[in-house]
Amino acid sequence: MAPPSQKPGSVSENTEAALSSDSGDVGLEGGLARIVFRNEMYRDRYRTLSTGMKVGAGALLGSIVLNAALAWALVHRGPVYFATSDDGRILPLTPLSQPVLSDRRIVLFATRVAVEAYSYDFMNWRKTLPALSRSFTKPGFDSFVLSLKSSGNLTQVVNNRMVVDAVPTGAGVVVAKGQVRGVYEWKVQVPLLVSFQTATGTVSQHLLVTLLLVRRSEIRHPEGLAVQQFLAVEKNV
């Protein structure tokens, strides 16, 4: 039996039409997907670039502000003062209202000055005593020299060709310290045994030396302090 002839609009033609229609739909959807993907990619790149530009602009603005602040500080800053040692080292400057040394070093300083004040002789006193001035304030040194002359001790040493020597007989003591009119001060007592030697013998004397130390600028006094008052009284033992 012969197969039946196919008429227009048969199942075969309808199938081909459906397949053709499906292929067109798939192609259209794929194109739209590519367009959407490309748009999203461009949008992401734009966002990244925009964020980077904002960060860069913020950093640039911060740099400009910082540089302007530094320039203003350099132009308007006040003078800077500092002290230097004899070998050129920079020394820090401390306000006169603050102590610069511990009590132990204060006692060592006072003891050294007290011993040096009674370490001279009839020949070299003109060199030895003026060298003490570096450890005194000017009023303090003038008062010390005046007391030596007015007491007659210096004249006696020169006329009798004496050699004066001193040694501490005990540890020095800080008896008072604190600020006075904005300047830090220490009052230190040092016991000494002072010997006056001549060609014929030695005379000894026990003294209690009281020193008033005051804060001074490190520019003139490297230790940061100086003797404002020097008082010696005979001590009974």
Q: How many helices (H) and strands (E) does the chain have?
A: 5, 8
Which pLDDT score, from 0 to 100, does residue 90 have?
A: 67
Domain ranges, residue 127 = 95-234
Residues 103, 180, single domain; the answer is yes
pTM above 0.75, yes or no: no
Domain end point (choices 48, 78, 108): 78
Contact at 8 Å (CB) between 133 and 141? yes
Q: For 181-204, how does the pLDDT look when each residue is reduced to its tens digit (9 = 90+)?
A: 999 999 999 999 999 999 899 999
Within-domain flag for 112: yes
Within-domain flag for 150: yes
Within-domain flag for 4: no
Which pLDDT score, from 0 to 100, does residue 19 have?
A: 43
Interatomic CA distance for residues 143 and 226, integer angstroms: 14
Which pLDDT score, from 0 to 100, does residue 2 have?
A: 47
Which residues are CB-contacts of 158 (< 8 A; sequence separation ≥ 6)?
A: 122, 125
Task: For residue 111, count other CB atoms closer than 10 A to its CB.
Answer: 19
With H, G, I as helix, E, B as strand and everything else as coil, classify residue 39. helix
Residues 111, 170, single domain; the answer is yes
Which pLDDT score, from 0 to 100, does residue 236 have?
A: 80
- Ranges of the chain whose pLDDT falls below 70: 1-34, 36-42, 44, 46, 49-50, 52, 56, 72-92
Residues 106, 215, single domain; the answer is yes
Which pLDDT score, from 0 to 100, does residue 76 have?
A: 62
